[in-house]
Amino acid sequence: MNKKQQDILEEAHKLFIEKGYLDTSIQDILERSGISKGTFYKYFSSKSELLLSLLSTLQESMIVKREKLADEHTDSDCHMFEKQMIFMMHFIAENNISKIIETTLVLNERKIFHYIEELKISTLNWIYKRFQQIFPKGNYPQLFDGAVLFDGMLNNVLRTNKMLNTSLTIEHAVRYCMEHTKGMMEKEIGSKDPLFDEKVIASLFEERRDEHSSTEFIRVTAALKRFVKNNVVDEAKQKECLEFITFIYDEVLQDNASPRKFIINSSLSSLEQIEPVTGSGEMEEYKRGLNRFIGNSSIKGDY
């Protein structure tokens, strides 16, 4: 995305916050951005397409910062998850994302509705993935149930808090919901059959993951970095691994050129030679995320 597109999105975002999505016209966006109608339609086919681009940009920014937060701290997985959730809730509030989305619900625009549903599923999938890291999987066959309960509880607590206009903070709400979710998983859920079939869940997320391949790639990159920092003891090898990962990340997400796949292949091959990265689950997931994002078979297969 070039600077002109970014500028238009930023000004439109401000207008959506000030006036609401429904009451903001394309003419309002033209005047605020100082552009012609031709320039607008060069980048966006409609106001709804601009909104989808804005939501996607905000989502990607939130994920980058959320994963970077985990890179910068050494807290326990559970404590770090709470910090990430608190950051996400603040990001959503500060950017008025919920309010913008609410104003679109009266519209019969399938693309917007579909994208919003995908955002919800993407967040639920991330919570589920984090729960797999936080809780011993063998002891908690209902991890997805727990993720659903936590997500639903937190959203309803925050919605009720807004409706009642109380002084409950996001920090308190997140920690309260996490504490109760842990309690339910330890005392009640563990003795019952799961509500949802894990194989069906995995299949669903596998199908939908391609639609958010860039954010998925950001997530698996951050996860691999954390694995390297926690498991590659030799400092020189750790630094080498992180350099390979950063190089691939920059190469894939650059704006102005296509990724040089032969260099990516070479970096991946070198990265996989380093123990304990070789054959690790994080490395395999990283490769799958990279394959989906680039969408080219030349980087698929064994190395």
* Percent over 90 (pLDDT), the chain: 39
Six-digit token pair at 111?
A: 């693309």
Per-residue pLDDT at 206 exceeds 80:
no
Per-residue pLDDT at 246 exceeds 80:
yes
The reply to whether the predicted model has a pTM over 0.85 is: no
Rg (CA), the chain: 21
Confidence of residue 296 (pLDDT cuts 50, 70, 90): very low
Give me the mean pLDDT over the 198-224 stretch: 68
- Tens of pLDDT, residues 247-271: 888 888 765 557 788 889 999 999 9
d(CA 235, CA 201): 38
In this prediction, residue 277 carries a pLDDT of 93
Confidence of residue 165 (pLDDT cuts 50, 70, 90): very high
Contact 144, 196 (CB under 8 A): yes
- Tens of pLDDT, residues 273-291: 999 999 898 899 899 888 8
Say which residues have a Cβ less than 8 Å from residue 72's Cβ, sequence separation at least 6.
none
Question: H-type helices in the chain, by residue range?
Answer: 3-19, 26-33, 37-43, 47-72, 77-94, 97-104, 110-134, 143-164, 170-187, 198-209, 213-231, 235-253, 261-271, 281-294
In this prediction, residue 298 carries a pLDDT of 43
Confidence of residue 111 (pLDDT cuts 50, 70, 90): confident
In this prediction, residue 15 carries a pLDDT of 95
- Tens of pLDDT, residues 221-234: 878 887 888 899 99
